[in-house]
Every structure is written in C-alpha cells, then in structure tokens.
DNA sequence: AACACGGGGCT
DNA sequence: AGCCCAGTGTT
C-alpha cells in the first residue's frame, strides 16, 4: 500500500464548498436520482442534461415509476440525448431494481457494475456519491486532472490503467462523494482541456505538470482516424388530408436502435442515383428534393438528401404520424432536422 | 485493444 | 475541421 495524503485534498474540498454549482442532481443523494444523472451525463455535457433530467424526474420520480413505463415512452423522452442504448439499458436496469430488488440499488461497486448500463465509472460514482464508498470514479475530467497532477506523458488510452491507479491515491474517507464531484468540477472549470486556469487551482502546489509548465499538453492522446462520409436519401411521404407523414421503427440493436425514422435508402459510401434511390421510396408520387443535410455521428458523417412527395397508403412496416404528435415520438435529432424541410415546401 | 455508439459546443 | 465531453458493451 502506498502512502496516502501526498496531495492536499482538503484544499480541493474547501474550494469545492466555496465554488460548487447548484445542480439538480446535487439536491438529493437518493441512489435513483444519482444513478439517473450519472447515466445521462455519460459522454454528455451538463447543459444538455439540464434540459432532460428535471423532466425525467417529474415524470418518473422513483425507480418503480420508471420501471412501469414502456420502452417507447422512455425512448421518446430520451430523444435528442443520443447514445440510445443508454435509454434501453436504463429502463432494463430500472425494471431489475424495482421488480427483483424491491426498489433498492446495490451499495457496492462490484454489485452496481453488474447492472445494465453501469460500467466502471458509473458504479464508482454512484457508490461514492449515494453510498459514501471511498472510491474515485474515472471520467474524462478526472483522467485529465490525474494526468496533470502526476505529469503522466504516456498517451491515452494506454495510460488509462496507470491513471486509474494514481487516482485512487487521491481518495479520502471523509467525503468520497464530494471529492469525486470536486475533481470533476475542477476538471470542467479550472483544469480544462485547453488553457487551464492553473493560477486559480487549489491543487497547484501538488501539480507536477504545472511545475514543469506542461499542463496544457496533457493528457497526450493518439491521433484519431478521419471520419468517412456516407450518403443516404430519406423520404417525407405526406398524406394530403392532414399532413401526416410516414415513419417506421428501426431495429432494436445498432445505430439509433429502437428509435423511429423516415423511410429511405441504406447509407452507403457513394451518393445515390435517382433511379437507385427511388426503389426505396414509399408508394407515393411527385418526389422532389427538399433539402440536403449533414449530420455527424460518432464514427462517420452522413449526407442525407431529403425528398418530399405525397402518399395515400402506408408501406411495409410504416405508420402515419400527425405533425402535432411528432414531439412526443422517439425521433432522433437527424430526422427532426430532416422534417424541418417539410415546412418550407408548401 | 479496437470499435460501435449521438449530439452539441468549443476553438 | 478537429477535439472534447460525469462511458458502456461487444468483439
């Protein structure tokens, strides 16, 4: 066992007490609320989550309520947040906790990590914040803070195990949850990826990277490959009498899994010819180009050509959705963008 | 270890 | 245009 308290975590906690933000998931340490916020915050910024978390909590105030919802309802509320497998696993986890564990979340890192959608980070965060387990979760912020504190120059992701081990040395038994949140606040507010505010940092006396003047260069990363481009054509098939459009449900697994979409072509590396694209159109007439949009996914960029036309009957697997109902459906951002072309087309 | 998996905001 | 973000699960 290495010696603890080589760093002044007390100074960090004092800074945290003076600077912490009033965020809705810091109002209560109820495990359900902590868990819900941590899942939403996976790879998602605080401002974005602020637009979803209060609505979720109002609609489903406890894990039993969320467990009783339908998956389509959960996906509809999640629409726009991205990484939709999170919503499916969130619901699966809620059902498991509500129906097989009498509504109680497990209280150890190991048991939490067995639940759907809870990985190493979320297990530690929930354990530390809701159950006062003395552990330090590793997220992007704490990874960066740790790399700088110890001046680790090994590039990510190879440095991850070392950073994980070093971060655990920062643990303090008194206030594990506050320490985790203090480190994350430090990472987002002071120890930022570019132009860190080192002079204002409560840990500057301990920071090896600051002393060496290399804080801004850490953590080092290996270069990522450029995103390929894919092309698709989507069809807005409009019903004359009420303006309803045809939608269909995507497969449960994979990209935008379980969400709704406009009918259209597959997405391929080459642009579509008219003739090839029309083979994927719903039964309808008068197709004309309404717009072209670019949408960036995690690992490719999509160029989506949007065409409008009129249709009188549904096609295979599709259904009519009235414009006034669109906001309550599980439509990912890509297709919300596409549907905006409809209004221009009168 | 590498990849799939959204979307928004920053520089 | 590239990088980042309160990551997880699969291969």
Consecutive 10-residue averages of pLDDT for chain A (346 residues): 67 94 93 98 96 97 98 98 98 98 98 98 98 97 96 91 94 94 96 95 96 94 89 95 94 96 96 96 90 95 96 86 94 96 58
Q: A237: which strand partners?
A: A309
List the CATH code of the domain at A229-343.
3.90.79.10
- All CATH 3.90.79.10 domain ranges of chain A, comma separated, are 229-343
Maximal C-alpha separation, chain A: 75
Would you state the pLDDT for residue A315? Answer: 79
> Is omega for the bond preceding A157 within 30 degrees of 0, making it cis?
yes
Q: For residues A148, A45, A156 and A226, what is the CA-based torsion angle, rounded to 10 degrees? A: -140
| Strand C atom within 7 Å of A25 CB | yes
Q: Which two tokens stand for residue A211?
A: 């002393």
Both tokens assigned to A315: 């096609």
SS3 A114: coil
The whole-angstrom separation of Cα A137 and Cα A180 is 7
A223 CA vs C2 C1’ separation (Å): 10
As a whole number of angstroms, the distance between CA A328 and CA A324 comes to 9
- Pick the closest to residue A107 from A19, A195, A183, A35 (CA basis): A35
For this structure, is A38 an active site residue? Answer: yes
- C-alpha angle A309-A313-A315 in degrees, rounded to nearest 5: 90
Check residue A346 and give its pLDDT. 33
pLDDT of residue A294: 96
Asked whether strand C has any atom less than 7 Å from the CB of A145, the reply is no
User: Per the structure block, which two tokens stand in for A330?
Assistant: 């599980």
Copy the structure tokens of residue A128.
């530390």
Residues of chain A with CATH 1.10.340.30: 9-217
Could you give phi then psi for residue A122, rounded to 5 degrees?
Answer: -65, -35
Using a 7 Å CB cutoff, list residues 150-179 of A near strand C.
Answer: none
Q: Give strand B nucleotides closer than 7 A to any protein Cβ.
A: 1-9, 11
Q: Which residues sit opposite A221 in a β-bridge?
A: A156
CATH match of A9-217 with 1.10.340.30: yes
């Amino acid at each position: 066992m290495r010696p603890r308290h080589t760093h002044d975590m007390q100074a960090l906690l004092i800074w945290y007490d003076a600077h912490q933000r009033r965020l809705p998931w810091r109002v209560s340490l109820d495990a359900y609320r902590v868990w819900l916020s941590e899942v939403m915050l996976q790879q998602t910024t605080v401002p974005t989550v602020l637009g979803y978390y209060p609505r979720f909590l109002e609609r489903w105030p406890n894990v039993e309520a969320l467990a009783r919802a339908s998956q389509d309802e959960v996906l509809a509320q999640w629409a726009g947040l991205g990484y939709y497998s999170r919503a499916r696993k969130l619901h699966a986890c809620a059902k498991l906790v509500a129906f097989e564990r009498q509504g109680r979340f497990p209280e150890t890192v190991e048991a939490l990590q067995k639940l759907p959608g809870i990985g190493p980070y979320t297990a530690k965060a929930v354990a530390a914040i809701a159950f006062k387990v003395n552990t330090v979760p590793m997220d992007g912020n704490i990874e960066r803070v740790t790399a700088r504190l110890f001046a680790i120059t090994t590039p990510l992701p190879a440095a991850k195990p070392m950073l994980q081990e070093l971060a655990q040395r920062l643990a303090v038994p008194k206030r594990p949850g506050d320490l985790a949140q203090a480190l994350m606040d430090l990472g987002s507010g002071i120890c930022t990826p570019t132009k860190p505010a080192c002079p204002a940092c409560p840990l500057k006396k301990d920071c090896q990277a600051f002393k060496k003047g290399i804080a801004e260069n850490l953590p080092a990363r290996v270069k990522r490959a450029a995103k390929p481009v894919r092309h698709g054509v989507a069809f807005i098939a409009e019903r004359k009498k009420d303006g309803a459009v045809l939608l269909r449900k995507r497969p449960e697994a994979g990209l935008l899994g379980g969400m709704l979409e406009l009918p259209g072509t597959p997405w391929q590396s080459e642009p579509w010819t008219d003739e090839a694209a029309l083979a994927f159109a719903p039964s309808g007439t008068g197709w004309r180009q309404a717009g072209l949009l670019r949408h960036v996914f995690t690992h490719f960029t999509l160029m989506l050509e949007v065409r409008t036309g009129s249709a009188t009957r549904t096609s295979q697997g599709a259904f009519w959705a009235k414009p006034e109902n669109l906001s309550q459906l599980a439509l990912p951002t890509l297709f919300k963008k596409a549907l905006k072309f409809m209004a221009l087309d009168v």
